[in-house]
């Protein structure tokens, strides 16, 4: 209701501060604690949603980094044991993608 258009935690905080100034008893002479309670309750709920979203994004980034590391380690281990297989893969990649395994590994390590 109050924070429907907020897409970031910064916007959420800004709108909350604006609303609290607007509904503060000193600002308009009215004492409407119910309105302030509603604002605070919705703010608490939405800020928790943003926190969960941020945590999920961080977990996704961590999984992606782990997978990149696993791919690099796997390719490096394969190269040590089966250099001919890696050369074949490298040739296919070079022809189809225009990159070789070394390029891909370097990009993954960035």
Q: Would you list the DSSP string of the chain?
A: --STT--SHHHHHHHHHHHHHHH-HHHHS---HHHHHHHHHHHHHHHHHHHHHHHHHHHHHHHHHHHHHHHHHHHHHHHHH-HHHHHHHHHHHHHHTS--HHHHHHHHH-
At 35-87, the pLDDT tens digits run 888 999 999 999 999 998 888 888 787 777 777 777 777 777 777 787 777 77
Provide the whole-model pTM.
Answer: 0.54
Cα 39 to Cα 3, 26, 67: the distances in Å are: 9, 17, 42
């Amino acid at each position: 209701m109050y924070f429907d258009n907020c897409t970031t935690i910064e916007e959420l905080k800004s709108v909350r501060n604006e609303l609290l100034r607007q509904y503060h008893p000193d600002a308009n002479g009215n004492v409407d604690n119910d309105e302030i309670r509603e604002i605070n309750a919705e703010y608490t709920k939405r800020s928790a949603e943003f926190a969960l979203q941020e945590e999920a994004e961080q977990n996704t980034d961590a999984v992606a980094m782990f997978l990149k590391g696993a791919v690099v380690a796997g390719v490096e281990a394969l190269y040590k044991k089966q250099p001919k297989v890696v050369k074949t893969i490298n040739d296919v990649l070079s022809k189809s993608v225009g990159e070789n395994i070394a390029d891909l590994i370097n990009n993954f390590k960035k």
